[in-house]
Every structure is written in structure tokens, then in C-alpha cells.
Amino acid sequence: MDVHAKRISAADAAALVKSGMWLDLGGVNSQSEVFDKTLAARASELSDVKIRSCLSIRPLAFLEADPQGEHFQSYNWHFGGYDRMKHDAGSVIYIPLNLGEVPDYYRRFLDPPDIAVIRVAPMDENGVFNFGPTNAWIGTVLERARTVIVEESPGIPYVYGAGNGVHVDQVDYIIDGTDRPPTELPHAPLTDIDHKVAHLVASEIEEGSCIQIGIGAMPNAACSLLAEAGFKDLGIHTEMLTDGIIDLVKAGCVTGARKKLDPGKVVFTFALGSKYMYDAITRNPDAECRPVDYTNLPHIIMQNDKAVSINNTTQIDLQGQAASESDGHRHLTGTGGQLQFVRGAYASKGGKSFMLLSSTYERKGTRKSRIVLDLTPGNIVTTPRSDIMYVVTEYGIVNLKGKSVADRAKALIGLAHPDFRDDLERQAREAGLIRRWVH
């Protein structure tokens, strides 16, 4: 079949969907737009259509057309704000994971998708549709899918990286997409707390470190401070590429010269930020968007010396368990790659991992401590106490590796807001975490 024969309308593509099928519609900037709308228009004709997606960055037409889930069942690997809202409404179900393992799930445990639809850049001179700034597990999904449809979208920038595209020979159908550029993630304004935490993290970073940055204001503040401090020869091997990392590159702090893997390259599996960031990686041979089982598996992360993992959490108990993805039984985000990068960084020669949080938060006009005796009932432990290394709040930084339960409790109480420390110590003693002879 020639390329012209593979081109069909979005309506004809949606007509391929039958009741009971499994669909995969990608995630972040690879998420289908035009097919999504034509599928939504068929909602009343279909039933029991099961759809996997990830980190939606705009409303999804199929969910808006079927708010009660009577026709489509939506499964999601990691929540953005829209996915969280739909989960709260009962329209989306979360799939627990370690992000770097997802390609293996598709190969070993999941039935092949009946149809996969991915938004891609226009076909290049080699017959390849580039995935742009979102790679993740797309390649594996397309290998496994019974029918592969690409939504050819001039708005998707061309980003280099092994495995960051699919050849037309592996594509069954091509539909026309939009020229809408990648969705931009607005900057969260930095607070004094963000700056204090970032200063503490930056003080522990060494020249030649290989950095992973999680999503959020605090990790990005750490990038800004590393740039201001004039670090040299930093490397980047990360899950998510952010504006803060591009700031480091532009400041001359990132050379990748000391990386054992991919020296000189900024390696990531998806990018989400501003136009400034997307422009920086478009056809940039030093930026590589790679599959998630290359970026996120600990045995690969650890091959770069001085690997550094910098991530947020929302609550930590006095034994060091970090809950980063839920508020009780209400799911907020997902495990993502946090645990894998914590483990990979620690296993590298000279590696370090940092878990960042503000000491308090406000809820309904009441200030509460993020450092607690017990996690909120139902809260999911994202990173176990045995894996936590550095914990950082605006009140200090502690390394929990090798510390007893009692020493951990005392150290974490010292990171809490002063207004909560006495009560936390009383609770810790009553629970038997701190004994009289511990100082």
C-alpha cells in the first residue's frame, strides 16, 4: 500500500472503532486531537470502548461527550489537572505503575491495543513520522497495536532521539491533524520557600553531576540557582524536560562532558514547558527524546556517575515515607518515575536523591503540617522509607540513610514548621518512635 492510499479522513478512522475494543490515544503532546473529536461524535453508537491515555493537557472530546462513562471507559497512567477532575467525577480510572516499566507492561501483560492513534510531526524525507517532544512508550504501543493510525500535525516540532518516530511502513492509516503547537505549561511563580529549599539542594550538588528534575516550582528553582552559581559540566538524564533545565543549558552549565551514557546529550522522555523550551529542542542534535525504558530504569540511570534526583512530595511521615500522588483515597497525579530515579540516583557512583516539600500547606484557612506522625488515611506511599535519602524543607536538609527510626523522627521534626514541632515530638514519643535515651 502506498502512502497516498494510507491517507483517510478522521471520520473514516473513527469508523474503524467497534464496541468492546481497546484504544490507545497517547499522552501529553502526542495525544490525538482530530481523531478524539470524531470518536466523540460516535459515542452513542458505541459501548464498552476502553481507552488508555496519559497526562492530558487539554479537555478530551470523548470524555466530554460521555461524562457518565456509558460508552467509553477511560484508563490513565498519570493524571494532569484535567484527568484529576474527571477522576473526581468518576470518569477516569488510574493505573498504578513505575513509569519506566510501562513498555514491559504492554509486551508482557496487556492485550495488544486494537487501535492506537498518535499525534506526530509530518513525515520526513526518510518516511519517518517523528514523535516530537513526547516519546515515553509510544514505540512499544505502535509495535503491539493491531491497527496504527498517525495524526499528522504540522504543529508538532521535530525532536531527535533514537526510537523517537515510526516509519510509514509500520503505519496503517494517516489522518490530517492540526497545526496547533505543543501545549505550554505555565510557570508557577516562585516563593521564598521555593528559594530557600533550592539553596539547600544546590549546596549539595557537585560539579559533573547528572541531573533529573521533577515537575514543580521547587525543582525548577533549584535549576535557577545552579545556573546562578555557575556550575560547569553538569549532565542531564531525566524523565521530564522543563524550562529550568533549558535555563541551565543556556547558562553554559550543562555540557554532559562527564556522562558515561550519551556524553554531550540532554536526554529525556517527554518535554512540557513553554515555547522557549520547545524551540530550544527543535532539531537540536544535543537534545534527545528517548523511550521511557531507557530514561527511567534504575540500572540505566545508575550508569552515569553522580546521578542526582530532585523531586517533590506532598506529605512525609516521621519514619520517612513520602506520599507524592494522592490525598487519602483521592488520586492526584501518579507515581511517575519518582521511585525509579530515587533508586537509580542512589545506586550511581556518588549519586544523591532529594525529596522536597514545604513544611506546611493551607486548607480552608487552616495551616497544616506536611510532616506528620501518620500519613493521611488512604495516602499512597510513593517512595518507601528505605529509599529516601535527603529530605529538604525551608527549615533544613537531612540525610535519612542509615538513621534509626528514632533518629529519623527527630531529624524530620527539625524540618517541620516550628509551630508544629512540639506536638510532633509528643506524638512521636507516645507512639514509641522516640525513646527517652535518644537525643
Whole-angstrom distance, CA of residue 195 vs CA of residue 219: 10
Whole-angstrom distance, CA of residue 191 vs CA of residue 370: 17
Task: Point out the catalytic residue in the list 152, 239, 325, 394.
Answer: 239
* C-alpha grid cell, residue 400: 535519612
Strand pairing of 92-94 and 115-120?
A: unpaired
239 is catalytic: yes
Whole-angstrom distance, CA of residue 161 vs CA of residue 267: 8
Catalytic residues, which ones? Answer: 239
